[in-house]
Amino acid sequence: MFATRFRFFLIFSLILGAAMPAAAQPTVLRAARMLDVDGGRIVEDAVVVVEGGRIQAVNPARLPDGATVIDLGDVTLLPGLMDMHTHLTGDLTGDWTNRPVRETAADAALRGAKNARTTLMAGFTTVRDVGSKGFADVALMHAVERGDIVGPWIVPVGHALGITGGHCDVTGFAPGILEGGPKEGVADGPDEVLKAVRYQIKHGAKFIKTCATAGVLSFEGPVGAQQYSDEELRVMVEEAARHGVKVAAHAHGSAGILAAVKAGVASIEHGSMLTDEIIAEMKARGTYLVPTTYLVGAIDLNALPPPIRAKAEYVLPLAIESVKKAVAAGVKIAFGTDAAVYPHGDNAKEFAALVDRGMTPLEAIRAATVNAADLLGVDDRGRIAPGLLADLVAVPGNPLEDVHVLEDVRFVMRGGQVFKQAAAGR
């Protein structure tokens, strides 16, 4: 009996062992330079050891045996970049204004898969995607995590929350067409707002996005007008917080920005009409500004219907001055692009725009690394340090001297897996 059991155990162990993948060998990355984002300095002759999807060591005295060595050559290694305001499932091509009634969430997800790949190849290893229909962003998050598609880590919001007829609702169609309720993010009054928050979180939202004011790329009223009341915003933030979730507020106009900040949102998106009072309140509360400022010059005004173009031409110049004021005052800035308003993959052009608004190259890079991680509430990325996710990118030259080199990403690793690698140039 013992011999029979032993033989069974031995055979079972051999079968199980054959079915299990071999332990991944460590990978050693060599680069001419590495950026220490905390210290704000370039480290020469960088060596980073990666194993099990995480950084195991930085410039160790001894390399692990049997490691795969990748010599990246004459490049600067940085933490994977992060974009806090993307719309992976959207773009402004074709008949985009009528797209909501012609397509399904499946169409959005397929478009999002294409744009996710483009975004990762541009060096962005984490994005916060701020709204898509039918939880397409949640589906994309899971697809990336399973390895079904190539893309960055995705922090989804589900449906963005807004009032009936507001910027986060679909406007411009006849009554009865594409009407929504709390499940779709269209919520009026504290009770519906409460339901909307809970429903998005139930179905996978990791952040809540709201439209505190009117916007540009929609057919509703004056751009910047406050849309959610102070009470509705407060209920939204408090309910999200009970689930350990933060709130991001699209806000252009001063009254709506101030209301959102006082309600306790984690970030103001766009922030086109900041005042001294708002800036002081943001600094006191530690509220982030996500400026999305490159789009001011990149948006194709000719692609906009006349009512939307008129709003854009009014608000965009104001937004430039607001970002400059916020930077000068020391408001916390997190990197975000609004990619979809201009082509996905051009995300890194935001860096030069931030520098043009008064930030140093290092401050702009921190906005897309350590600041973005802080806004998300995660401590496993944003730096090159042992124990963190092996999310790494490399660019030619020195980004502290020329921030434009961030637009030329030569190497991308996400979670220890290499997705892009140009020939070594050492």
For 63-67, what is the mean pLDDT? 92
CB–CB of 160/168 below 8 Å? yes
Average pLDDT of the segment spanning 276-281: 98
pLDDT tens digits along 168-223: 898 888 898 889 999 999 999 999 999 999 999 999 999 999 999 988 888 877 88
| Start-end of H helices in 368-416 | 370-376
Which residue's entry shows tokens 């009865």?
A: 176
pLDDT in tens, 32-57: 999 999 999 999 999 999 999 999 99
Nearest-angstrom CA–CA distance, 149 and 411: 18
Sign of the C-alpha dihedral, residues 196, 158, 239, 292?
negative
Say which residue, 422 or 260, is predicted with more confidence.
260
Q: CA–CA separation, 183 vs 163, rounded Å? A: 13
Q: Shortest CA distance to 31 belongs to which of 305, 364, 396?
A: 396
pLDDT of residue 343: 95
Whether residue 246 has pLDDT greater than 60 = yes
* pLDDT digits 0-9 by tens, 110-150: 999 999 999 999 999 999 999 899 999 999 999 999 999 99
Active site residues: 209, 338
Q: Is the pLDDT assigned to residue 19 strictly greater than 60?
A: no
Per-residue exposure over 282-292, b if at least 16 CB sit within 10 Å of its own CB, e if not? beeeebbbbbb
- Domain 24-79+384-421 -> CATH class: mainly beta
Q: What are phi and psi of 27, to 5 degrees?
A: -120, 135
Distance, CA of 34 to CA of 18 (rounded, Å): 40
CA triplet 234, 237, 239: central angle to 5 degrees?
A: 105
With a cut of 60, say whether residue 3 has pLDDT above it.
no
**Which phi and psi angles does 211 have, rounded to 5°?**
-105, 95
| pLDDT digit string, tens, across residues 355-401 | 999 999 999 999 999 999 999 999 999 999 999 999 999 999 999 99
Average pLDDT, the chain: 92
Q: What is the pTM of this model?
A: 0.92
The arithmetic mean of pLDDT across residues 235-255, rounded, is 97
C-alpha 10, offset from chain centre: 49
Q: Which residue did the predictor score with more confidence, 351 or 15?
A: 351
Encoding tokens for residue 163? 């009032």
Q: Which residue has the higher pLDDT, 271 or 3?
A: 271
Least confident range from 183-187, 316-320, 331-335: namely 316-320
Collapsing DSSP states into helix, strand and coil, what is residue 30?
A: strand
User: How buried is 142 (Cβ within 10 angstroms: 0-12 exposed, 13-18 middle, 19+ buried)?
Assistant: middle
**Band of residue 422 on the pLDDT scale cut at 50, 70, 90:** confident
Q: What angle do CA 260, 82, 351 make, to 5 degrees?
A: 90
Give the pair of three-digit tokens for residue 77: 């290694």
Structure tokens at 372: 């973005």
Which whole-number Å values give the CA distances from 152 to 82, 127, 191, 269, 415, in the listed order? 9, 6, 35, 21, 10
User: For position 426, what pLDDT does the model report?
Assistant: 42
Q: Which pLDDT score, from 0 to 100, does residue 365 have?
A: 98
Give the pLDDT band (50/70/90) at residue 155.
very high
Q: What is the pLDDT of residue 423?
A: 62
Mean pLDDT of 258-284: 98
**Per-residue CA distances from 274 to 224, 252, 269, 281, 324 (Å):** 11, 8, 12, 11, 10
Structure tokens, 176: 């009865």
Q: What is the mean pLDDT of residues 336-347?
A: 96
In this prediction, residue 232 carries a pLDDT of: 98
Give the C-alpha distances (Å, rounded to integers) separating 315 from 64, 139, 156: 55, 34, 27
- Each domain of the chain, given as residue ranges in start order, spans 24-79+384-421, 81-376
Quickly list DSSP for 179-224: ---GGGTB--HHHHHHHHHHHHHHTT-SSEEEE-B--SSSSSSSTT
Split at pLDDT 50, 70, 90, the class of 2 is very low
89-93, 151-155, 336-340: least confident range: 89-93
Report the share of the chain in percent with pLDDT over 90.
80
Q: How far apart are CA 400 and CA 406, in angstroms?
A: 10
Confidence of residue 256 (pLDDT cuts 50, 70, 90): very high
Alpha carbons within 13 A on the beta-carbon side of 333: 31
Give the contacts of 185 (CB within 8 A, at least 6 positions apart): 131, 158, 159, 160, 161, 162, 168, 169, 196, 200
pLDDT for residue 319 is more than 80: yes
Q: Decide if pLDDT at 22 tops 80.
A: no
Task: Report the length, in residues, of the chain.
Answer: 426
Q: How far apart are CA 152 and CA 150, in angstroms?
A: 7
| 21 pLDDT more than 80 | no
- With b for 16 or more beta-carbon neighbours within 10 A and e for fewer, the 62-71 pattern comes to eeeeeeeebe
Name the amino acid, one letter, at 158.
Answer: G
Class of domain 81-376: alpha beta
